[in-house]
Amino acid sequence: TQPVPVIAIDGPSASGKGTVAERVAAALGWQVLDSGSLYRIVALAAMRAGVALDDEAGVAAIAATLPARFEAGRVLLAADDVTTEIRTEACSVGASKVAVLPAVREALLGWQRDYRLAPGLVADGRDMGSVVFPDAALKIFLTASAEARAERRYKQLMDKGLAANMQSLLDDLRERDARDAARPVAPLMKLPDAALLDTTELDVEGAVAFVLDLVRGRGLAAG
């Protein structure tokens, strides 16, 4: 039997991975995994428990027993709705700090792979194509200039009614990209077998069309 096909979308912060992944999954009727949200929930749970974000064993223990669920577009941590809170800059920075810890990444591996269900999965993050789903049928490296990405994040936060400052967003984004690319375990990078999609001058529709063209070209979509 054929393995369940995976489309892996990796790239830097605010490049549009989540938006494009959701639209592609909806077009195909496939499952979707926002792997970054898992790192965000772990960071939030650690901060709430008073566990230092560089305490590898402590954070990994939290990651291994996380009472988190995704329900109808909401993110729940135990009985708490944390959908909005995990999108704050504090949780973005926290996520990228716990993400450097190998034991934390290991603890989240099985959970991520559980999302691989028929008829297919669109997964976005930093290591979807390199570590979590190395046999993905299609790998995309989605990127855009740092300025374009900071602007997109700014608009997103304003729309959600969250406070945002353009310069500090740009600084955070650059710092986080650098940490994601420099870490020894599962660093952010463009794989040789990934298609490059630079959306600095491309809108969401254009990015989705690019991915769906590749999907059809490879005969991945049934019907």
Neighbours of 160 (CB within 10 A): 12
Contact letters (x/-) for ligand CDP, 74-113, by CB under 6 A? ------------------x--xx--x--------------
Q: Beta strands 138-143 and 6-10: pairing type?
A: parallel
Choose which of 7, 32, 45, 127 interacts with ligand CDP (CB under 6 A): 127
Q: How far is the CB of 122 from ligand CDP (least distance, A)?
A: 12
35 touches ligand CDP by CB under 6 A: yes
Cα–Cα distance for residue pair 80/70, rounded to 1 Å: 12
- Spell 137-150 as b/e; 16+ CB within 10 A means b: bbbbbbbbebebbb
Q: Exactly one of 5, 6, 8, 17 binds ligand CDP (CB under 6 A); which one?
A: 17
Residue with smaller CB distance to ligand CDP, 14 or 63: 14
Residue 116 makes contact with ligand CDP by CB under 6 A = no
Q: Judged by CB, which is closer to ligand CDP: 102, or 119?
A: 102
Other Cβ atoms less than 10 A from the Cβ of 79: the count is: 6
Does 176 help bind ligand CDP (rule: CB under 6 A)?
A: yes
Closest CA to 208 of 217, 221, 199, 219: 199
